[in-house]
Chains A and B, each alone.
Chain A
Amino acid sequence: MTKRNIFSLFEILFWPVVGFFSVGLLTTFLDLDPNRTGFILIGIISMSVIQVCQIDVAEALLYDLWAKSMKHTFIAPIHPHQLLLGSWIIGVIRSLVVFLLLALFSLFVFDFDFLRPGVFPLSLFLLGLFLTSASVGMTVCILILVFGYKAEVAAWSLSSLMALICGIYYPISILPTPLPEIARGIPLTYFLAYLRSFYGFQEGFQSLLRWGFGLAGFYLIVEVILFRIVLHRAKRTGMILKLSE
């Protein structure tokens, strides 16, 4: 039960690679020490992975929104969670490709080794990113079913907002209140802190993985329930029809 369009590899990789090099070269220009360079590279790569993966999840409904073909998806005998799961699996595969490529660039261009924490911790970190992406993508889907076309902006802005708050390029401790407190409610914060802890950065809070996965799981459960509710509502208000004409 998977989702459409096998975008050409070029299209998936273009923006992540451009973003990666512009930030990577910035660190070279600023002449940062290797650990700080690593800090920032972890940030930009995580962001790319999340962008690619979350948009794939959101595309479970985004494409139908753009094409106005919503009703043809919902008249098919497929459960929405199968649809979302399928989209997520595609997203995981594609963002894994992005990660591998950017990790190779990091190693050879900026001499930063993503495997230093070991394969298992790195896998946990990636899993964390994928779950976070699922969460963001599902939020977009939920917003689409409630707000229709107005929700489209969420697809692009949600993950950027998250980047701002969760400390993609800086530790969250430098943020003004209440942003650090909000950041602690977002799983991404913990996964970033977890990976960075292997490179000598301590955010000053503990049980990173437990918090990260706990929160991610909590949000996913809430979102599954919310999704059912808003789908029910969309069938009452005729939103599915409005998004089909």
Chain B
Amino acid sequence: MALAIKAEGIYKSFYTGWLKRSEKQVLRGIHLEVEKGEIFGILGPNGAGKTTLLSILSTLLFPDRGQIEILGMDSRREAHRIREKVNLSSGNANFLWSMTVEENLHFYGMLYGLAGHRRNQKVKELISLLGLEEHRGVSFDRLSTGMKQRLALAKSLLNDPSVLFLDEPTVGLDPSVSVWIRQQIQMIQKERGMTILLTTHNMREAERLCDRIAFLKDGRILTAGDPDSLKRMVRLGDLIKIEFEGRVEEDELGRIEGVINYSVTNGLCEVIVDEGERRLGPLITKLSEDGVKIKRVTLGQTDLEEVFLEFSKSSNSDMGLYLQELDHDQAKYL
């Protein structure tokens, strides 16, 4: 497969202060390869350097060091040609306040060299694609955040980009609006086969939307891969929650094969095992044999959030205890 984005050894520092200059290292050696037609996610907490990386890839910022090729073009020497083929939409996008949705699209259409009939056509198409019909005459400053995001997406499609950069496309949106935006992104990508590089600090978003994900923290990519293999790689263990009546022998629990950690409080027993699905049966059997009446069993599967935390936390902490603090809202009910 051909690469849409290839970045090698990207470093970037910012300097602040006129007199006393202080350096802030934001990116420290990023390697990234994104294939054509992929939705690639960069996942990282605030301040990780996501926007900085995206800006460098989209020619808005020069790296201190490193090589970048976008669609086979060198980002230094062929920046202008790259700009014809890429576009950017950011979550907290700003456009000209006093201009309406339609005027903004026309204005940026002009910057992309669209004129006359072609521009009218394009603007109309994008307004209907993103469901902005009712807001076409509303000025930017009176749009809701969701509508602003839609406008940002529409603007980023003006030049039918081959590579689309999305910087936190659903930041600050209501869940229902986020879902809609994600569906649109997926649909548009499927229809046009473009490459999408998106950043997010939302694990679920990355998991649902992306073919591959890279974890970015403190200016480094911790690991990259597809969501499932990332989860498999970490093997954090799964959490089994058992609501019961009777008495559970705590010592017994620890001796069952595959159990990493456990806790028992009145009526609730939480066990962390290496492989949830394999250990669940024997565990229940054992408890039943001991005369415990089981009311409900929940198997919580590792999700990306835990994978990420696992990768970014410092070494030699107690994996089992750590996991118990997490909330398992993706639990599977048996």
Show the binding face of A for B, using Cβ within 8 Å: 1-2, 4-5, 63, 66-69, 71-79, 83, 232, 235-238, 240-241, 244-245
Whether A72 lies near B113 (C-beta < 8 A) is: no
Please give, as numbers and ranges, the residues of chain A lying within 8 Å of B93 by CB-CB distance: 69, 72
Whether B61 lies near A241 (C-beta < 8 A) is: yes
Q: B97's contact among A2, A67, A79, A240, by CB below 8 Å, is which? A: A67
Whether B110 lies near A1 (C-beta < 8 A) is: yes
Whether A67 lies near B94 (C-beta < 8 A) is: yes
Whether A238 lies near B110 (C-beta < 8 A) is: no
A118 CA to B96 CA, complexed, in Å: 42
In the complex formed, the residue of A with least CB distance to B51 is A241
Please give, as numbers and ranges, the residues of chain B lying within 8 Å of A245 by CB-CB distance: 92, 94
19 additional contacts, CB 8 Å, given A69-B94, A77-B84? A5-B96, A5-B99, A63-B96, A67-B95, A67-B140, A69-B95, A71-B88, A72-B88, A72-B93, A72-B108, A77-B113, A78-B113, A237-B14, A240-B60, A241-B51, A241-B52, A241-B55, A245-B92, A245-B94
Please give, as numbers and ranges, the residues of chain A lying within 8 Å of B59 by CB-CB distance: 75
In the complex formed, the residue of A with least CB distance to B112 is A76
**Could you give, for residues 56-91 of chain B, a 1 whenever the CB lies within 8 Å of some chain A CB and a 0 otherwise?**
001111100000000000000000110110111010
B244 at interface (Cβ–Cβ under 8 A)? Answer: no
Q: List residues 93-138 of chain B with CB under 8 A from any CB of chain A.
A: 93-99, 103, 107-108, 110-113
In the complex formed, the residue of B with least CB distance to A235 is B62
Whether B96 lies near A237 (C-beta < 8 A) is: no
B212 at interface (Cβ–Cβ under 8 A)? Answer: no
In the complex formed, the residue of B with least CB distance to A4 is B107
Please name 17 pairs of A and B residues whose Cβ atoms are closer than 8 Å in the assembled complex, sorted by A: A4-B103, A5-B99, A67-B94, A67-B96, A69-B94, A71-B55, A71-B90, A72-B95, A75-B88, A77-B84, A78-B112, A235-B60, A238-B14, A238-B52, A241-B52, A241-B60, A244-B94
A166 CA to B314 CA, complexed, in Å: 66
A112 CA to B93 CA, complexed, in Å: 51
Please give, as numbers and ranges, the residues of chain A lying within 8 Å of B15 by CB-CB distance: 237
B217 at interface (Cβ–Cβ under 8 A)? Answer: no
B150 at interface (Cβ–Cβ under 8 A)? Answer: no
Instruction: Tell me the smallest distance from the CB of A118 to a CB of chain B, in Å.
Output: 38
A145 CA to B29 CA, complexed, in Å: 28
B155 at interface (Cβ–Cβ under 8 A)? Answer: yes
Show the binding face of B for A, using Cβ within 8 Å: 14-15, 51-52, 55, 58-62, 80-81, 83-84, 86-88, 90, 92-99, 103, 107-108, 110-113, 140, 155, 159
Whether B83 lies near A75 (C-beta < 8 A) is: yes
A71 CA to B61 CA, complexed, in Å: 10
Please give, as numbers and ranges, the residues of chain A lying within 8 Å of B159 by CB-CB distance: 77
Please give, as numbers and ranges, the residues of chain A lying within 8 Å of B51 by CB-CB distance: 241
Whether B55 lies near A77 (C-beta < 8 A) is: no
In the complex formed, the residue of B with least CB distance to A69 is B94
In the complex formed, the residue of A with least CB distance to B80 is A77
A222 CA to B61 CA, complexed, in Å: 24
**Which of A69, A74, A232, A241: most chain B CB closer than 10 A?**
A69
Instruction: Tell me the smallest distance from the CB of A7 to a CB of chain B, in Å.
Output: 10
The 8 closest A-B pairs by CB, nearest first: A76-B111, A77-B83, A68-B94, A77-B84, A69-B94, A67-B96, A235-B62, A78-B111
A241 CA to B96 CA, complexed, in Å: 16
In the complex formed, the residue of A with least CB distance to B111 is A76
Please give, as numbers and ranges, the residues of chain B lying within 8 Å of A74 by CB-CB distance: 60
Instruction: Tell me the smallest distance from the CB of B54 to a CB of chain A, in Å.
Output: 10
Please give, as numbers and ranges, the residues of chain B lying within 8 Å of A72 by CB-CB distance: 88, 93, 95, 108, 155
A2 CA to B106 CA, complexed, in Å: 11
Please give, as numbers and ranges, the residues of chain A lying within 8 Å of B81 by CB-CB distance: 77
